[in-house]
Amino acid sequence: MSVQSFQIDIAQSQLDDLEWRLRQTRWAATLPGAAWQKGTAPDELKALVDYWLHQYDWRQQERDLNQLGHYYWRQDETQIHFVHQRGNGPDPLPLLLTHGWPDSFLRYQKIIPLLTDPARFGGKAEDAFDVIVPSLPGFAFSACPPGGVNNAQIADLWAQLMTELGYPRFAASGGDIGSGVTRYLAVQHPDRLVGIHLTDIGLVRPLMQATGADLTDEARDYQAAAMKWITQEGAYMALQSTKPQTLAFALNDSPVGLASWILEKFHSWGDCQGNVFGRFSKDELLNNIMLYWLTASFGTSANLYYENSHSLPPMAKITVPTGLTRFPYDLMPPPRHWAEQNLAIRHWHELPRGGHFTAMEEPELLAQEIRAFYQPLR
């Protein structure tokens, strides 16, 4: 069979090696300036590493993660990991959830039960979903194809996976890279999709580069906000889309370096109000970091940025019914009139709290949005 179940079982030798490396950390000097001003705050990183060494229990986390249904799907030379949880309702709608970087399938860990068994959380059983959460190629337990892969190619892989699982039509949702993959699914396989739900639309390069007197004030505001974001937050993207191999050698060798690279993004992009540990627990931050470390997948995950910047085809207009839920501390969406011209917007809602890692930060709010968007489309 091309689909097989498996359980996470990390060799003890890997955990012993990790502990040795953490204890041998050569800490960088603290640069002058306020915490987080020049990157990861030393005190917060040291607190996380101290917890990692003395309190974090991977074996307990492993047991908890294995409560989910984990599977491998083999397609040619590619092995894709995915979580598959059946819905508890009269006719669950299959829902494909795609994560981004620097997160993993764990982005959706909290929201899965809210979607598969809504009645248990005060919702309606008829709103249940069968939830499928693949790990992107090159992330965690999913292998990276030898020639690399971009968002459009991943969309084709996902369509094949859903066929393999017996779902001729399905719903799809995603954020970050997952938003791009979901939109390519809508472009390349519109007949397969009931609708798509997004938490962002990424950086819209054509709109950012547009000029002329006919540009609206809203479009100009978007251009200014997007350029400010690139200036302040885009260094990682510039490096990963041009020289991912250079960075891979460093972060594949240093667990603290890897943790620093990822922790800074959760602080900067989450609705943290300056306190990353107030929004994300140390366990959930470390679980995500551990997936990158234990599978040595930072380089292959960063390579997706390179492939997208060098081989991604243009995005055509989307005709599949589309919902967008915006969280205030996530990337600013393009003007609504632009979105309505390029996507079949049926639902546009701005929520009062939450950031980029929406399903981790506000799972109840996002679950409500997904259920509401798909109710009339079932």
The CA distance from 80 to 82, in Å, is 7
- The question of whether 184 is a catalytic residue gets the answer no
CA angle 294, 235, 215 (to 5 degrees): 130
The CA distance from 203 to 234, in Å, is 11
Tokens for 136, please give them: 């992107």
Tell me the Cα Rg of the chain.
Answer: 20
Catalytic residue, chosen from 81, 189, 347, 356, is 356
Amino acid at 160: Q
Cβ atoms 306, 148 nearer than 8 A? yes
* Cβ burial 207-238 (10 Å sphere, 16+ → b, else e): bbeeeeeeeeeebeebbeebeeeeeeeeebbe
Catalytic residue, chosen from 117, 130, 176, 200, is 176
- The question of whether 306 is a catalytic residue gets the answer no
Helices (H), the chain: 12-23, 42-54, 58-65, 112-116, 151-164, 177-188, 205-209, 217-233, 235-240, 244-251, 255-269, 276-279, 282-294, 298-311, 336-342, 358-361, 363-374
The CA distance from 179 to 199, in Å, is 7
The CA distance from 310 to 361, in Å, is 32
- The question of whether 267 is a catalytic residue gets the answer no
Catalytic residue, chosen from 71, 167, 292, 305, is 305
Query: Cis peptide before 102, with omega less than 30 degrees from 0?
Result: yes
* Active site positions, annotated: 176, 305, 356
